[in-house]
Structure 1
Amino acid sequence: MRPGRRLPWPRSLAGQAIALQVLVIAVVVMAGSALALFDARRDGDAAARDQVLGIATALADSPSTAQAIEEGHATETLQPVTELVRRSTDIAFITIMAPDRTRYTHTDPAQIGGEYLGTIEPALRGESFTEVYTGTLGPSIRAIVPVYDSDSRVIGLVAAGILQQSLAERWRAQWPVIAAVGVGALAISLAGVWGIRRRLLRQTHGLAPDELRVMYDHHDAILHSVSEGLIVLDAADPSGVALVNDEARRLLSLPDGRVVPADLPEFLRTYNPGARDEIHVTDDRVLVVNRSPVQNGATGSEVVTIRDRTELQGALGELNSLKVLTDSLRAQAHEAANKLHTVVTMVEMGRADDAVRFATAELDLSQRLVDRLSAAVGEPAVVALLLGKAAQAGERGIELTVTEDTELPSDTDALLLSGQEMVTVAGNLIDNAMDACDPENPWVEVTINQRDGRLLVQVADSGNGMDERTFEKAMQRGYSTKAGADAGGHGLGLALVAQVVKRHGGTLSADVTYGSVVTATVPEEMP
């Protein structure tokens, strides 16, 4: 390796994690092997101490040993015995000596009669002990045990020892087994680590830690800053909701902290991927919802995006009311032009009286309706709505009647609903009534009044009406009794009416009496 050049280091998170794991595993295996060798040597030394102490004790306690020493022919009697025991137990030496260190026996006969090398003082005091000492044969682990006569006096000593070189050969013989176990453990660990590496590479797409951190920071910032609500529903997540951004919490009025499916509105509690531009009405908002399955995700996982359409829907309602009025005025202008040509022709024909009667007949009826509504209804938007709907009904051949009970305060500040809300409620109910009335006998009756602290908007038509279950469903998102309405995006009117009424603590009901009657009431104070 060139001077100053560092070893290559993996770039990806998976590579770095695996490299660290390999280093840790290698260190652990090497340390474990070293500890195993150390433990084997320690256990070998302990076993050797127990062995030589047991042999020395057995010979010292034998009556023949004390008898041979007392009779003065210890060497002749004990040398063959000690050599036989030594060879059968595979130890280095067995030395029986006098209290003055004179050897009676030895592995090397030339050493008999010489002075024993080693510690004997504890044994002379009657203690059995072991030590490591370098004698004539080399360093050894030895045990020294006293020999007693019948009067319990120390008359001799027995020393038995194993050379440390022999012990080293014993525990070195365990190296191949320990090495094989270590290599096997390392191989198995590396195979497992390699499998983990492949899984991490798939899950992280080979990105480096810094890239993952930057990606997370950017995605987190985007999720919290986008103007659309975003919810990730994950079947594998214990709570069922993996992610909710700030806008989604605001639009759905979700609590802070962890969100569970029970916190979500009903339309988000079922798995429905592929839904596009669904319109849902909550208590105070009109929402456009799109749902897509999570690519390569668990079954039941999907991404939900939510857009607020409340203000747009209100503006569209007002625009629709103005469009109705404009269309009515355009039709009236066209009709007035026809009538004007007729009047001019009748004058040219010399029939002036007939021309006057023809010109003022329908004008008088329309003017009386305008005068009555202007006097009884103080909210200009409601007056314009009713006049426009009356003209629209006339074009469709529907008899629309504004009852004499219709009356609103001249002080618009005293109204329980704003002009925009009145247009939403009354306009949608009248539109629904005109669509639902009986084609054989088409009529619609409208009553709007505010009395005794209560606002009433009641619309009746000649249709068959709705049962309770159908009416409840009609107040939900996108439902309509008209064929093809769901596909065309209709059926929102009654849901918008229900939203406004509920927001003000009112009630919305339907019944079938003299016709199909839908009644919205709003109290002065919310209950």
Structure 2
Amino acid sequence: LAIGVIASLALGRRLRRETLGVGPEELAEMARDQGAVLRGLDDGVLAFSSAGVPTLSNSTAEQLLGIAHVEAGTDADRDSDAPSRAEVPEVIRRMMVEAPDHGALRRRVNVGDRILLATAVRVSRDGVSVGGVVTLRDETQVLTMARQLESVTSMARALRTQRHEFANRLHTVFGLVDTGATDEARNYLATILRTGPIATPVEGIEVISEPYLRALLEAKGTTAAEVGVSLSVTPDSLVLGRVNEPEDVTLILGNLIDNAVRAVVTDAMGGMGDDADRTDEVFGRVEVTLLGSGSELHAVVTDTGGGVEDADVESIFDEGVSSADDLDPDHGHGIGLALCRRTARRHGGRVWLLAGHDPVLGGAGFAVHLPDALSDDTDDKER
């Protein structure tokens, strides 16, 4: 009896220590609540032990990370089963190791074609560390929509400027006609027809007739000119048909042009020293080549910036961390190029670094191939 009592006391003490003083009823209630919470969350949840071993994951986390259990079961089984037989990405496990004792560690990470916002938090109970939790949120769609909105906003701003100029010219024609100066009005209209009704800072843009591409180039040309960069379209560019997915096409081209302009300005400012405030001169140029072949769209964006070094070629499209200090402002060592590549892959295309240092301009050159970006000529003729 004495041995039994001593063994019972020792076993009870160990159970209380292992369960952190939680009783059987509380454990059952916590298990039910855990399953309900995990299945009801839109965010992914990964739990880790104090040793950094994955112990729990919900179905959202498995979907975001591409985790698949060897043994398939019900939804409830998956939500309560530990991903011990699945490969959790190294970047997620490293975040749990680097998480501070107090507060949270947040990073944007690339997992496949997704851009995830990961938050790692250590968990303790009564001063005892019981592991940690990593929550995952898919930010790809939000970031894509933000970049698309940025492109649309820049195009709308350029169109407002053009509308103002167009209205001024119409007022001039109206005034000439109203005063009876019909010959002057006719000559003025002839001049507009020869030179184009609206001025644009983009050199060679007359070879582009597609409205979405032209509007994008005019908008980017206006913003580039404001910071002292010349944007031009190469004379061998030719695009027939219409853009099928203008939001995605403008997102990709807009990001590449913005990165090129930023690289030119950064390189020029670095070499100007005390004269870095002067923006009344042209620092460099960005060239865009657009070619259409049936439904395929090919594009090349090159600049006169500092280019991409050989050591950065492999990581140029990698997702950077969320801290702005860790992002390279040249050529999108952040989220721009990652979004471009993901968007292109979604349409069966690709974006790649064509040259770290272009033999003509000296800066980086990026190429784009979108197989189904344009409508066929036959469809265009039917419309």
Question: TM-score scaled by structure 2?
Answer: 0.69
Deviations 1:180-238 (A, max 9, x none): xxx5xx2xx5445334323433443544423321220121121122100011233537x
Distance 1:399 1:233 in 2: 52
Query: Do the aligned partners of residues 262 and 508 (structure 1) sit closer, same or farther apart at CA in structure 2, a change above 3 Å counting?
Result: farther
Match of 1:204 among 2, 6, 19: 19
2:267 corresponds to 1:424: no
Match of 1:492 among 335, 353, 356: 335
Partner of 1:263: 87
Partner of 1:284: 113
Query: Do the aligned partners of residues 298 and 285 (structure 1) sit closer, same or farther apart at CA in structure 2, a change above 3 Å counting?
Result: farther
Deviations 1:312-362 (A, max 9, x none): 1221121101111233344556777999999999xx9x9x97x959x9578
Corresponding letter in the other structure for 1:228: D
Distance 1:265 1:437 in 2: 36
Note if contact 2:317-2:333 (Cα within 8 Å) is conserved in structure 1.
no
Corresponding letter in the other structure for 1:309: E
Match of 1:443 among 269, 279, 285: 285
Partner of 1:400: 231
Distance 2:364 2:337 in 1: 13
Partner of 1:302: 132
Distance 2:208 2:294 in 1: 20
Corresponding letter in the other structure for 2:114: R
Match of 1:243 among 49, 56, 59: 56
2:29 corresponds to 1:214: yes
Partner of 1:317: 147
Distance 1:241 1:333 in 2: 59
Alignment map for 1:109-128 (pairs within 5 Å)? none
Query: Do the aligned partners of residues 326 and 453 (structure 1) sit closer, same or farther apart at CA in structure 2, a change above 3 Å counting?
Result: closer
Note if contact 1:425-1:497 (Cα within 8 Å) is conserved in structure 2.
yes
Corresponding pairs, count: 325
Distance 1:264 1:505 in 2: 28
Distance 1:381 1:280 in 2: 32
Distance 1:364 1:219 in 2: 63
Alignment map for 1:37-56 (pairs within 5 Å)? none
Residue segments in structure 1 that go unaligned for 5+ positions in a row: 1-25, 27-182
Match of 1:273 among 99, 116, 128: 99
The alignment partner of 1:231 has SS state of strand
Partner of 2:378: none
How far residue 276 of structure 1 moved from its aligned partner, in angstroms, is 4.4
Note if contact 1:430-1:459 (Cα within 8 Å) is conserved in structure 2.
yes
Moved more, 333-342 or 421-430: 333-342
Corresponding letter in the other structure for 1:281: N
Corresponding letter in the other structure for 1:462: T
2:72 corresponds to 1:228: no
Distance 2:49 2:233 in 1: 53
Distance 1:455 1:314 in 2: 20
The alignment partner of 2:145 has SS state of helix
Corresponding letter in the other structure for 1:320: E
Distance 2:163 2:5 in 1: 89
How far residue 243 of structure 1 moved from its aligned partner, in angstroms, is 1.1
The alignment partner of 1:295 has SS state of strand
Distance 1:215 1:405 in 2: 68
Identity %, equivalent residues:
29
Distance 2:251 2:85 in 1: 32
Query: Which has the higher relative contact order, 1 or 2, with Cα contacts under 8 A spaced 6 or more apart?
Result: 2
The alignment partner of 1:408 has SS state of coil
Note if contact 2:234-2:289 (Cα within 8 Å) is conserved in structure 1.
yes
Query: Do the aligned partners of residues 492 and 236 (structure 1) sit closer, same or farther apart at CA in structure 2, a change above 3 Å counting?
Result: same
Corresponding letter in the other structure for 1:243: L
Distance 2:247 2:41 in 1: 29
Query: Do the aligned partners of residues 450 and 283 (structure 1) sit closer, same or farther apart at CA in structure 2, a change above 3 Å counting?
Result: farther
Partner of 1:169: none
Query: Do the aligned partners of residues 201 and 478 (structure 1) sit closer, same or farther apart at CA in structure 2, a change above 3 Å counting?
Result: same
How far residue 255 of structure 1 moved from its aligned partner, in angstroms, is 1.1
Deviations 1:81-123 (A, max 9, x none): xxxxxxxxxxxxxxxxxxxxxxxxxxxxxxxxxxxxxxxxxxx
Deviations 1:98-157 (A, max 9, x none): xxxxxxxxxxxxxxxxxxxxxxxxxxxxxxxxxxxxxxxxxxxxxxxxxxxxxxxxxxxx
Match of 1:522 among 360, 369, 372: 369
Note if contact 2:46-2:58 (Cα within 8 Å) is conserved in structure 1.
yes
Corresponding letter in the other structure for 1:306: L
2:220 corresponds to 1:389: yes
Query: Do the aligned partners of residues 198 and 340 (structure 1) sit closer, same or farther apart at CA in structure 2, a change above 3 Å counting?
Result: farther
Distance 1:479 1:204 in 2: 37
Alignment map for 1:347-426 (pairs within 5 Å)? 363=197, 365-366=199-200, 372-374=207-209, 377=210, 380-410=211-241, 412=243, 418-426=245-253
Point out the structure with max Rg over C-alpha.
Answer: 1
Query: Do the aligned partners of residues 343 and 196 (structure 1) sit closer, same or farther apart at CA in structure 2, a change above 3 Å counting?
Result: farther
Distance 1:217 1:300 in 2: 19
How far residue 365 of structure 1 moved from its aligned partner, in angstroms, is 4.5
2:314 corresponds to 1:472: yes
Partner of 1:252: 65
Distance 2:22 2:131 in 1: 24
How far residue 434 of structure 1 moved from its aligned partner, in angstroms, is 0.6
The alignment partner of 2:113 has SS state of coil
Distance 1:382 1:212 in 2: 61
Query: Do the aligned partners of residues 479 and 429 (structure 1) sit closer, same or farther apart at CA in structure 2, a change above 3 Å counting?
Result: farther
Question: TM-score scaled by structure 1?
Answer: 0.52
Distance 1:208 1:479 in 2: 42
